[in-house]
A and B are shown apart, each in its own frame.
Chain A
Amino acid sequence: MVPESNRLSSVLRQLEEAQRTAHVGSFEWDIATNVVTWSHELHRIYGLENGQFGGSFEAFLERVHPDDLAHTKDVIFTAFRNLSAFVYDHRIVRADGRVRTLHTRGDVIADEKGRPLRMSGSCWDVTELHEATESLERSLSLVEGTINATADGLLVVDRKGRVTAYNRRLLELWGLTRADIDKRGFEELLSLVHGRLENSAACLQRVRDLETQPQAESFDSLRFWDGRFYERYSRPQRIGDEIVGRVWSYRDVTEREQLLRRAVFLADATRLLASLDVEPALTGVAHLAVPYLGECCAIDLLGEDGPRRLTVVSRDPERPFTPELNPTVLAGHPALYPSGLLSCMAVPLVVKGAVVGVMTFIAPAQRRYAALDLELAEELARRAALSVENARLYRKAQEALRARDEFLSIAAHEIRGPLMSMHLAVQVLGRGSLADDDTPKVLEVIQREDRRLARFVDELLDLGRIRAGQLHFTFEEVDLAEVLHEVLARLGTELSRSGSALSVSTEGRTVGRWDRFRLEQVAANLLSNAVKFGQGKPIEVSVSAREGRAILVVRDHGIGISPDMQERVFRPFERGVSVRHFGGLGLGLHIARTIVDAFRGTLIMESELGKGSTFYVELPLARS
Chain B
Amino acid sequence: MPPGASVLVVDDDADVREMLRMVLEGGGYQVATAKDGADALDHLNGGDLVGLILLDLMMPVLDGEQFLRAHRSSVRSDIPVVIVSGHGDARDIARTLGANGYLRKPVELDELLLTVGRFMANGVEPKAR
Chain A positions within 8 Å of B, measured between CB atoms, are: 409-410, 412-413, 415-425, 427-428, 431, 433-435, 438, 441-442, 445, 448-449, 497, 577, 579-583
Contact = CB atoms under 8 A, between A and B. Distances in A.
A448 B26 contact: no
Given A409-B87, A428-B23, A428-B26, A417 B15 contact: yes
Q: What are the 10 closest A-B residue pairs judged by CB atoms, nearest first? A: A416-B86, A423-B106, A581-B60, A420-B106, A427-B109, A580-B63, A416-B105, A421-B15, A580-B58, A417-B13
B86 A413 contact: yes
Given A409-B87, A417-B16, A421-B13, 4 more contacts: A417-B86, A431-B109, A581-B61, A583-B13
B19 interface: yes
Contacts of A581: 58-61, 63
B21 to A, nearest CB: 10
14 contacts: A409-B87, A409-B88, A417-B15, A418-B13, A418-B15, A424-B19, A424-B20, A424-B107, A424-B109, A424-B112, A427-B109, A445-B19, A577-B60, A583-B12
A580 B59 contact: yes
Nearest to A430: B109
B58 A428 contact: no
Given A580-B63, A581-B61, A442 B22 contact: yes
Contacts of B61: 581
Interface in B1-43: 12-16, 18-20, 22-23, 26
Which of B14, B16, B19, B109 has the most CB atoms of chain A within a 10 A radius of its CB?
B19
A579 B26 contact: no
B70 to A, nearest CB: 15
Given A420-B105, A428-B23, A435-B26, A580 B86 contact: no
Contacts of A434: 22, 26
A412 B107 contact: no
B77 to A, nearest CB: 22
B63 A497 contact: no
Contacts of B107: 420, 423-424
Contact of A413 (B18, B23, B58): B58
Contacts of A445: 15, 18-19
B83 interface: no
Contacts of A583: 12-13
Contacts of A577: 60
By secondary structure, the A interface counts as: helix
Contacts of B55: none
A442 B19 CA distance: 7
A583 B16 CA distance: 13
Nearest to B11: A417
Nearest to B87: A413
A89 to B, nearest CB: 113
Interface in B65-106: 85-88, 105-106
Contacts of A417: 13, 15-16, 86, 105
Contacts of B22: 428, 434, 438, 441-442
B106 A412 contact: no
Nearest to B89: A409
B80 to A, nearest CB: 21
B116 to A, nearest CB: 13
Contacts of B64: 580
B57 interface: yes
Contacts of B18: 421, 441, 445
B86 A421 contact: no
A442 B109 CA distance: 15
A445 B26 CA distance: 17
Contacts of B108: 423, 427
A410 B91 CA distance: 17
Contacts of B13: 417-418, 420-421, 583
Contacts of B106: 416, 419-420, 422-424
Contacts of B57: 580
A296 B58 CA distance: 54
Nearest to B14: A497
Contacts of A410: 58
A578 to B, nearest CB: 8
Contacts of B85: 413
Contacts of A423: 106-108
Nearest to A439: B22
Interface string B100-129: 000001111100100000000000000000
B69 to A, nearest CB: 14
Contacts of A431: 109
A577 B58 CA distance: 12
Contacts of A433: 26
A412 B57 CA distance: 13
Contacts of B15: 417-418, 421, 445, 448-449
Contacts of B58: 410, 413, 579-581
Contacts of A449: 15
Nearest to B37: A580
A418 B64 CA distance: 19
